[in-house]
Amino acid sequence: MLFGNVIGQHEIKRQLTKSARSGNIPHARMITGNEGTGKLAIAIAYARYLCCTDRSEEDSCGRCPSCIKFNKLVHPDLHFAFPIIKNDKKKKETCDDYLKEWREFVLKNPYFNYNRWLDFIDAGNSQGLIYTRESETIVHRLNLRAYESEYKTVIIWLPEKMHELCANNLLKMIEEPPANTIFLLVSEAPDMVLPTIRSRTQHLHVPPIDKEAIGEELKKLAGAGGQTFDQTDIKRLIRLARGSRIRLEELLENTDSSRESLELFKSIMRSGWERNIQKMRTNSDKFAAMGRERQKKFLSYANNFIRENFFFKLNLPEINYLNKEEIEFAEKFSEYINENNVISLIDEFTTAEQHIESNVNPKTVFFDLSLKTAILIKIKINHGHRI
């Protein structure tokens, strides 16, 4: 991971390289920002830059002994802590036990989020945590002398997932680390990090990736996946990605499934409008056959689509996130979404999502949802009471 591999973020790179070259290096930084903006990639590129023995003004050299170890994330002065699942059977209890998976995952693509990481380590329904034992490991390692490079770096990915004891144990170390030790806390929810830790770090906010860089990335990803888009679609995808490489990837993965979702959505709304119970049943069967992940995706798609239809009539191009087929449908359908039913409709789809999450029978969930929708879309704007 070089700065050159970080998508966009020129200002952040400039700030970090400048601070490193001036020798004015804060011993603890909290790197924050939304998911998919490149925080982890930036933290690794920065740690590498600090250790590189032949760096240029903009980047590490990529060839010195330190860089070669960073290529595989095996530098002995680079330490990671990240949420894990304790698995007694597989004897996986610490981050070290997951280091092989972690390196493989980060090296493949450093733009990922908590859920993708947990999926990768087969977490199932368990929640990932940075356990107390990690703080002991970190303290122990940092008390040893630096063996190779001038700096030791500890990258804590998602410090908000630290067990409270772990955070408390690290407090003193973060406040007064041994010489040439740098803490980089990469957080998506800094408000959930112990305030005493937060106040001991220098804050670096990573903004969404700029549109031009996202556009370049879109070309690369679409090219690799053999997908082609026209100019309108490109603009829409860039806007929808909202500066996140993760969202962009999801959008590209979902282009086919959105089509399927739109068809099902149309069908529910039509069966509701016609009060066609038989069609509602058929749709419920279709929904039940989709599998849980697709069901959740559909419900979240529908939720978003209802919201978009509410805004559709406002006709503001900058908030219109719909594609061609969706716009065609919205031309008429948006008439049925108004201030008297939009909240209730969104609530019903959200409830359905929660029910699917907690394993309620999908046929029942979907059938109920169809009935409620049928009633809700007939609610009209009450012009007499508009303010």
Give the residues lining the site for Zn ion (CB under 5 A): 52, 60-61, 64, 67
The residue among 61 and 327 lying less far from Zn ion, judged by its C-beta, is 61
Distance of CA 220 to the CA centre of its chain: 20
Question: Crossing angle of helices 245-253/255-274, nearest 10°?
Answer: 60
The residue among 43 and 52 lying less far from Zn ion, judged by its C-beta, is 52
Which pair of tokens denotes residue 164?
Answer: 């409270």
Q: C-beta of 54: minimal distance to Zn ion in Å?
A: 5
The residue among 52 and 369 lying less far from Zn ion, judged by its C-beta, is 52
Q: C-beta of 58: minimal distance to Zn ion in Å?
A: 13
Angle at CA of residue 85, ends 83 and 86, nearest 5°:
125
Residues counted in the chain: 387
The residue among 52 and 209 lying less far from Zn ion, judged by its C-beta, is 52
CA 52 – CA 147 distance, rounded (Å): 15
Torsion-angle region of 76 (φ positive above 0: left; ψ -120 to 50: alpha; else: beta): alpha
Nearest residue to 65 via CA among 76, 79, 81, 80? 76
Q: C-beta of 24: minimal distance to Zn ion in Å?
A: 21
Cβ atoms 266, 329 nearer than 8 A:
yes
The residue among 64 and 171 lying less far from Zn ion, judged by its C-beta, is 64
Q: C-beta of 107: minimal distance to Zn ion in Å?
A: 17
The residue among 149 and 295 lying less far from Zn ion, judged by its C-beta, is 149
Which pair of tokens denotes residue 239?
Answer: 């806007």
Q: Based on the number of CB atoms within 10 Å of its own CB, is 294 exposed (0-12), middle (13-18) or buried (19 or more)?
A: middle
The residue among 60 and 267 lying less far from Zn ion, judged by its C-beta, is 60
The residue among 9 and 60 lying less far from Zn ion, judged by its C-beta, is 60
Q: C-beta of 62: minimal distance to Zn ion in Å?
A: 6
Return the amino acid letter for 170: L
The residue among 54 and 357 lying less far from Zn ion, judged by its C-beta, is 54
Q: C-beta of 56: minimal distance to Zn ion in Å?
A: 10
Q: C-beta of 2: minimal distance to Zn ion in Å?
A: 9
Q: C-beta of 60: minimal distance to Zn ion in Å?
A: 4
Q: C-beta of 13: minimal distance to Zn ion in Å?
A: 16
Q: C-beta of 3: minimal distance to Zn ion in Å?
A: 12
The residue among 44 and 67 lying less far from Zn ion, judged by its C-beta, is 67
